[in-house]
Amino acid sequence: MQFADFWYIVALSEQLQSNKVLSRTVLGEWLAIFRGEDGQPVALRDRCLHRNSRLSTGKICNGALQCPYHGWVYDAVGNVIAVPAEGDDFKPSPQRRAKGYATKEQDGYVYVRLADSVDFEPFSMPHYGQTGWETVRVINRFANNVTNCAENFIDIPHTAFVHPGVFRTSRQQKLEMTVERCNGSVLVEYRNENSNLGWYSRFLNLQGAEIKHSDRFYMPNITSVEYKMAQNRHLFITSQSIPETDNSTLVYTDVTYNYGIWNKLARPFVRWTAQHIIRQDVEILGIQGEAIAKYGTQFYNTPADTIHIFVESIMAAISRGEDPRLLPNQLVKVTFWV
């Protein structure tokens, strides 16, 4: 198994218009993304075969991509179908074919897979487009790697210090969690939560009932946080972290919620709060990334970091070319304070 076997988001569906070319980077590979003549997404290596110009700076001509340097034209599978300098003498050649990659479109996202693996499908975003649910979608770039981003998104202890008041406040409240590694995923279930949700605590959990809160990590780059607080107070925060380079991660986050009659009215508040919290995480992960670049990744873990240890074991297995689904199942119960 390798990281290239998985599907990665390269655009929102609405971003990929029929006359537009997008430049993207996934796992260090430069990509030119556009829609072919049939409207389906196309991903080619962002390099013209002729003189190595960037195809992403070109233009779309009848569903084909024209290089801006000498006008070579590529179809949806990467074949060169026109060379202006050759005029009527042009003949197609199997040697003139740009590297292309598999694409899929799902849940309003365009995905690319760099390897030829057929093992996996793109992740299904929880309740996307379903009646009674709203989704707010934000995109942010982090100066850190996928592992550290994913760990941040399912980490409770940092929230009281990075997002004080907005999300949580340090109260030294005793919480319990069960952390399970199974089949390449990590599932965390929390107990004893009933408040400390920041600005909107009264709206989210007016009666102060125990909150059903779980965090999930799906290899190699997806986190999904679920809060169920009461009738029509149900929330998912799902992030797909896209590895651009070793220290640059583009994160697509869906906040999908069911607040009943408040769904539409809540949208601007949900969007503002989500972006405000993520902006704080961008800053702290950037600081962490700088320190890692200088001093490396020797971490001193506490029991509350069991989640991170399991995530790192999965990522390390993929880095070794192994299948994390073959790692032994583990379940740990932890007590910690926030």
Residue 314 pLDDT: 98
DSSP 8-state secondary structure symbol assigned to residue 97? B
CA diameter of the chain: 78
pLDDT digits (tens, 9 = 90+) for 210-266: 789 999 999 999 999 999 987 888 999 999 999 999 999 999 999 999 999 999 999
Please state the φ and ψ torsions of residue 170, each to the nearest 5 degrees: -65, 115
Strand 174-182 with 109-113, pairing: unpaired
Distances in Å between the Cα of 105 and the Cα atoms of 102, 113, 219 are 11, 12, 20
Residue 254 pLDDT: 98
- Answer yes or no: are the C-beta atoms of 314 and 219 closer than 8 Å: yes
Residue 209 pLDDT: 66
Residue 117 pLDDT: 79
Please state the φ and ψ torsions of residue 269, each to the nearest 5 degrees: -70, -40
Residue 43 pLDDT: 98
pLDDT lower than 50: segments of the chain: none
- Answer yes or no: are the C-beta atoms of 259 and 184 closer than 8 Å: no
Long-range contacts of 222-228 (CB under 8 A, 24+ apart): 222/123, 222/150, 223/150, 223/153, 223/154, 224/126, 225/153, 225/154, 226/126, 227/197
Residue 230 pLDDT: 78
Distances in Å between the Cα of 14 and the Cα atoms of 18, 97, 196 are 10, 28, 36
